[in-house]
A = this chain, B = another copy of it.
Amino acid sequence: MKKHNYSAGPCILPQEVFEKSAQAILDFNHSGLSILEISHRSKDFVAVMEEARALVLELLGLEGKGYQALFLQGGASLEFLMVPYNLMNINGKAAYLDTGTWANNAIKEAKLFGETVIVASSKDQNYNHIPVDYTIPEDADYFHCTSNNTIFGTQMKSFPKTNVPVVCDMSSDIFSRTLDFTQFDLIYAGAQKNMGAAGATLVVVKEEILGKTGRTIPSILDYQKHIKAESMYNTPSVFAVYTCLLTLQWLKKQGGIAAIEKINEAKANLLYSEIDRNTLFKGTSAVADRSFMNATFLLENPELQESFDKMWKEAGISGITGHRSVGGYRASMYNALPMESVQVLVDVMREFESVFSDQSQLAQ
C-alpha cells in the first residue's frame, strides 16, 4: 500500500530523487563508478557542488547580490555555534527571538560568546504563537530568529525591519514560500526537510558581514575559509549534497518557489479547514501564526486516541504522532508531500468524526 509520509524530518522527498540517487549509487553519470566511491575533487562531483550552490542562489533570487551558498555538515546544531563564532564581536552582543526548542538551543550556544539578549519569548504559552512588538537593540551584532518551529507548528509570516544583520534558521521551511530573501544576511538550514538527505547543511551568507569580529575562528568553523575553498574545505557529505542538487532541480522544474508555495498553501488550507471544522479536533497554535509546513492539532477527547491512531494507520498514513512537547498530532507537509496525502488524512478525520462524534459528546 502507498504510504502517506508525514514525518517531521528526515521526511518525504520527491520520488525522482529516490530513483535518481539510487541509480547514482549503482552507476554515476555512466562512469562505471558509484557516486559513493568517487573523489569529491573529481570533475563529476565538482560539477554537482557548483550546480547545487548556483541553484540555491537562483531559486532564492539572490544571484549577483553578494551572497555565497555553502553545503556544510553538522546540521543546524553546528550553525548555532558557527553563527556567534563568525558574527559576535569580542565583548559584543547578539539579539535572539525565542520561539521554541531550536531557538533555545541556538541561544544556549551564543551565550558562551557574549551578551545574548532575548528580545521576546512565547515560552510562557508553550510557544503557541510568534511574539510581536519587540525591540532589537541597535548595537547588537546580529538578530537571530527561527522562521518555522517544527515542534510547535508556528511560522513567522513577516520579519522585523532592523539595521543589524538578520540571521535566520530556515531548517524546516526553506524553499517552501516566496520571501524577499535579501532581508536576511545569513540563512541556514539542515537539508533533511525540503532539500535532501540528512547530512548536509545549507548556509547562505552575505559575504560583506564576515570577518569583522576580531575573533580567532577555528578553521573548520570559519565561513570565510569555506567560501574560499568553494565549499570543499574538507570532504563534503557527497551523497547528501547530490540529493540536494536533485531536489533543487525538481523544484526548478515545478516552477520554483512561487509554484510550490501555491501548492503548499492549498495543502495547508485543506488540512487547517478540516481541523477547524471537525468537532473532534482542535489546533494548538495561534491561527495567524500557523505553520504551513507543520500542522499541530489535538483530539478534543484524548480518550479517543487509540481509535484515531488505528484509523490513520490503516489508511497508510505514517509519522503524524505529535512531539512530546505538544502532544496530539503533527502533520508535516513539506514540499514533496502530495496533495493526495493531505486529502487522505482529511478523509480519515471526517470518517473518524462520523463514527465517533457521539462517543466524544458522551465523554464530555
Q: Are A238 and B190 in contact (CB under 8 A)?
A: no
Q: Are B80 and A220 in contact (CB under 8 A)?
A: yes
CB distance from A94 to the nearest CB of B (A): 15
Interface of A is mostly: loop
The answer to the question of A126 belonging to the interface, with a C-beta cut-off of 8 Å to chain B, is no
Q: Are A235 and B198 in contact (CB under 8 A)?
A: yes
The chain B residue with its CB closest to the CB of A199 is B237
The chain B residue with its CB closest to the CB of A8 is B39
The answer to the question of A26 belonging to the interface, with a C-beta cut-off of 8 Å to chain B, is yes
Known contacts A199-B73, A221-B81, A237-B198; decide if A37 and B25 are in contact (CB<8 Å): no
The answer to the question of A163 belonging to the interface, with a C-beta cut-off of 8 Å to chain B, is no
Copies of this chain in the oligomer: 2
Known contacts A190-B235, A235-B190; decide if A37 and B10 are in contact (CB<8 Å): yes
Q: Are A238 and B199 in contact (CB under 8 A)?
A: yes
A18 to B233 CA separation, bound complex (whole angstroms): 26
Other-chain residue from B39, B81, B220, B319 in contact with A39 (beta carbon distance below 8 A):
B319
Q: Which residues of B contact A40 (CB under 8 A)?
A: 10, 198
What 1/0 mask marks residues of chain A from 57 to 96 whose CB sits below 8 Å from any chain B CB?
A: 0000000000000000111111011000000000000000
User: Which residue numbers of A lie inside 8 Å of B, CB to CB?
Assistant: 1-3, 5, 7-13, 17-19, 21-23, 25-26, 31-34, 36-40, 42, 73-78, 80-81, 105, 108-109, 112, 190, 192, 196-200, 216, 218-221, 233-240, 243, 318-319
